[in-house]
Amino acid sequence: MIEVARERVAAVASTRSDDAEQQAGLAHGWVSGPDVRVLTAASVITVVRTLVAVALGLAAAAAETSDGALRLLIASLVTYWIGDILDGAVARWRDHETRFGGVLDVVCDRACALVFYVGVAWHLPGLVVPVGVYLLEFAVVDLVLSLAFVAWPVLSPNYFYLVDRAIWRWNWSKTAKAVNSAAFALLLLLTENVWLCTAIAAVLLVLKVASLVRLVRLGIPVPGVA
């Protein structure tokens, strides 16, 4: 499978051009040239939801009570999630998916998550271990994985199945996204179970490391010199 993916990437990369007929012949998710636009409605939503989510998270630091802080942190998390769903939906609906938007979304997701989880660890210090393991997984290993798509001519990590289906299934399928973000956060807040949440975060970390190893074995293409 890895060799097949390499051949497919090489075939597409070698024929990149701005020719409209060639671009139309590519499967959706492949790109044949630079982004036509950078500022899109989806990108604006990404920036706005990030600013609001981060502002709510920072406001939690000034809250007078832990309960008030946690309510603000939950509001920050909900803003992040709704905005993340909305920007992707708008990008697909308006056919405004861009590689710049893909990178922006990945980076903004980490900004929102870091503010939320650091706030949770600050106000619920008993959860610092599962939060620490999760942030190592999401903000470090998964960040590398999610930005690796730029080495291939694909729009975003959501289309990484065009390169390697196993890595995509483990990381960016709907099930993988739900487990890696919503499921862990909800379990953390609802149970506050240190051992259970740490175990789940550790499993996610192992899965991400395995994905990274597979990515390295796949080989990251080196852009041609102009």
How many CB atoms lie under 10 A from the CB of residue 118? 18
Per the domain annotation, does 105 fall within a domain? yes
pLDDT at 166: 97
How many CB atoms lie under 10 A from the CB of residue 167? 21
Per the domain annotation, does 23 fall within a domain? no
**Which residue type does 58 have?**
L
CATH of the domain at 115: 1.20.120.1760
**Which residue type does 81 have?**
W
Q: Domain residues for 73? A: 2-7+38-218
Mean pLDDT score, 210-214: 97
Share of residues in the chain with pLDDT > 70 (%): 87
Distance CA 138, CA 201 (A): 9
Per the domain annotation, does 31 fall within a domain? no
Q: Could you say which DSSP state residue 64 is in?
A: S
Per the domain annotation, does 28 fall within a domain? no
pLDDT exceeds cutoff 70 at 4: no
- Summarize pLDDT for 49-84 with one digit per residue, the tens: 999 999 999 999 989 898 999 999 999 999 999 999
pLDDT exceeds cutoff 70 at 37: yes
Per the domain annotation, does 131 fall within a domain? yes
Q: Assign residue 224 a region: left if phi > 0, alpha if psi is -120 to 50, beta otherwise?
A: beta
pLDDT exceeds cutoff 90 at 221: no
Q: What token pair was written down for 182? A: 């919503």
Distance CA 173, CA 166 (A): 10
pLDDT exceeds cutoff 70 at 24: no
Per the domain annotation, does 75 fall within a domain? yes
Per the domain annotation, does 29 fall within a domain? no
Beta bridge partners of 28: 30
Q: Provide the mean pLDDT of the chain.
A: 88
pLDDT exceeds cutoff 70 at 5: no
Q: What token pair was written down for 158? A: 């959501």
> How many domains does the chain contain in total?
1
Per the domain annotation, does 16 fall within a domain? no
Distance CA 183, CA 128 (A): 18
Beta bridge partners of 141: none
